[in-house]
Structure 1
Amino acid sequence: GFHRLELQHAVGNMASCRVALKSGFALEGTKRSALLHADGWHDCHLHARVRGDRRPEV
């Protein structure tokens, strides 16, 4: 019943980026200094799926 789902991951985490894209989450942009890790603030990618988006082809 969700209309919109979002996920975010550190920009340097390319494996998470691939999983998000293969799962049908579109890359919407980069959030600067949005994630706090033990070594400081990191930029993150914002991905989202909206109801009605086409399912990814496997």
Structure 2
Amino acid sequence: MRSVEAVYRWAFDEIGFHRLDIQHSVGNHASCKVAGQSGFALEGMLRQAIRHADGWHDWHVHGRIRTDR
């Protein structure tokens, strides 16, 4: 989680981004946990948005904006 925090602080403070998002397969519970604990709000799900070897998977979208601090 410290690496995620370092990247979003750099992106907001040094680069000047307004918004960042994290996307991951719905079945990837570890990524979901890291996103949530890093302050990225779960914003929704994209149905069958990514194809893996075993077929199409739903995709979570988490977002964080500069003012979320």
Tell me the TM-score normalized by structure 1.
0.87
Q: Could you tell me how far 1:30 is from its partner in structure 2? A: 0.7
Gapped regions of structure 1 (runs ≥ 5): none
Please identify runs of 4+ aligned residues in structure 1 that moved more than 6 A: none
* Pair 1:2-2:17 in alignment: yes
- In the other structure, the counterpart of 1:52 is 67
- In the other structure, the counterpart of 1:32 is 47
SS of 1:47's equivalent? strand
Q: Could you tell me how far 1:52 is from its partner in structure 2? A: 0.5
Tell me the TM-score normalized by structure 2.
0.74
Q: Which AA in structure 1 matches 2:67?
A: G
Which one has the largest radius of gyration? 2
Gapped regions of structure 2 (runs ≥ 5): 1-15
Which of the pair is proportionally richer in strand? Answer: 1
Which of the pair is proportionally richer in helix? Answer: 2
- The percentage of aligned residue pairs carrying the same residue is 69
